[in-house]
A = this chain, B = another copy of it.
Amino acid sequence: MATSRSRSLIEPDGGALVDLVVPETQRPSKAAEAEAMPKLKIGKVDLEWIHVLSEGWASPLRGFMRESEYLQCLHFNFLRLTNGSVVNMSLPIVLSITDADKVAVGSSPNVALIGPRHHDHSIVATLRSVEIYKHNKEERIARTWGTTAHGLPYVEEVIVPAGDWLIGGDLEVLEPIRYNDGLDRYRISPSVLRKEFERRKADAVFAFQLRNPVHNGHALLMNDTRKRLLEMGYQNPVLLLHPLGGFVKADDVPLDVRMEQHSKVLEDGVLDPKTTVLAIFPSPMHYAGPTEVQWHAKARINAGANFYIVGRDPAGMSHPVEKRDLYDPDHGKKVLCMAPGLEKLNILPFKVAAYDTSINKMAYFEPSRAKDFLFISGTKMRSFAKNRENPPDGFMCPGGWEVLVKYYENLQANEAG
């Protein structure tokens, strides 16, 4: 009687991130092979995950999860590798297919993936040695978000319309993923980021994940972090200002506007370009709080970060049905600090910054004189900009604010027109 113990098939990356883009010389032959495979159409968000996987953000994962990885991710938030070591993996990175797709794949070990419209419906990648298994959406949602309430943006957009099967396998991407939206120069792969930090001789890299415009509270925190790292003895701490570039909910500020705003913040000198690298993190957003913040941190480790700034309610949102935060605002930080596979990352807990009316500046909140402070949420900030109201002086640099006002003006003009 053999005692059975499933072993992960994931090999450690040995420090060199997996790179799933086919080398240029092999492209013609790989493309010809792909032509002969059963073909599956993929969506916009699937392509974002292919991008993420191809560059090694999820390294050592080599493709969409097979069932063994999926179950480990869902139940334990980590994967055990062939050498017994552990890597954090908190979000299922999976590809769903329909009943009809499953029939089309049949017993073929390999499939070709056809990109969405803005990729001209061409073959973007292949998935080899595939495994097809059930997509229990309810269980996936419950275990990832800790709720099954209707109205979770990623769930409604991506999971509800998805097929009832998942297909895992080894990914090969025929060409680097490009979006041709003028922002590709900011889409820097984790291995290129690592080289950039080396080139800059950074001895500490601190990452800041964001999906909102940068206000002076954020800036205070980032500048302060740098100062304190210097005090700790680091010679050259570098900031990775790393806005999320994939799927976001409809009322978030779009990526191009945010990138323009971030550039202004650097131009205006609120952040120092000499010690800041601005790049796009290509992942889609789940809004899955404590589960997702682990992914956000893990991916930045792969890009060379060794310090991670975490704030109140990271990756959180309002409960879609009840009038409360979906997550306890402290759980993200707490879970991140205990998460398996992230032991080497230095977690920098965010102090809460708010607008201090006694000095007309963003400053660290002091509970002893709470009445002096104004909390301006993302929603509040967007409503200021929408209504062409100015936020209090010192909330955001004027150049950055102008970008937001212009965006909402255009939006309203388009809606009216």
Contact = CB atoms under 8 A, between A and B. Distances in A.
A340 B341 CA distance: 13
A331 B142 contact: no
Contacts of A276: none
Given A3-B346, A4-B349, A232-B1, A134 B80 contact: no
A143 interface: yes
Interface string A67-106: 1100110011110100000000000000000000000000
B76 A334 contact: no
A234 to B, nearest CB: 11
Nearest to A69: B338
Interface stretch (A123-131, A144-152, A210-218, A394-402): A144-152
Given A75-B77, A136-B328, A348 B146 contact: no
Given A147-B148, A148-B142, A225-B1, A68 B6 contact: no
A138 B142 CA distance: 10
Most B CB contacts (10 A, CB to CB) among A76, A145, A229 go to: A76
A107 to B, nearest CB: 19
A71 B335 contact: yes
Given A1-B228, A3-B348, A134 B76 contact: no
Given A71-B338, A291-B75, A338-B71, A347 B142 contact: no
Nearest to A294: B75
A6 B143 contact: no
Give the interface residue-count category, chain A: 35 or more
A76 B340 contact: yes
A248 interface: no
Nearest to A72: B338
A226 to B, nearest CB: 11
Contacts of A8: 338
- In this complex, the member of A225, A327, A337 whose beta carbon has the largest number of chain B beta carbons within 10 angstroms is A337
Contact of A6 (B136, B145, B327, B338): B338
B337 A5 contact: yes
A339 interface: yes
20 contacts: A1-B229, A1-B348, A4-B337, A4-B347, A68-B338, A71-B290, A71-B331, A71-B335, A71-B338, A72-B338, A75-B339, A76-B77, A76-B78, A80-B338, A136-B146, A139-B146, A139-B327, A142-B145, A142-B148, A143-B146
Interface of A: 1, 3-6, 8, 67-68, 71-72, 75-78, 80, 134, 136, 138-139, 142-143, 145-149, 225, 228-229, 231-232, 290-291, 307, 327-328, 331, 333-335, 337-340, 346-349
Given A134-B328, A143-B146, 4 more contacts: A1-B348, A71-B331, A76-B76, A138-B146
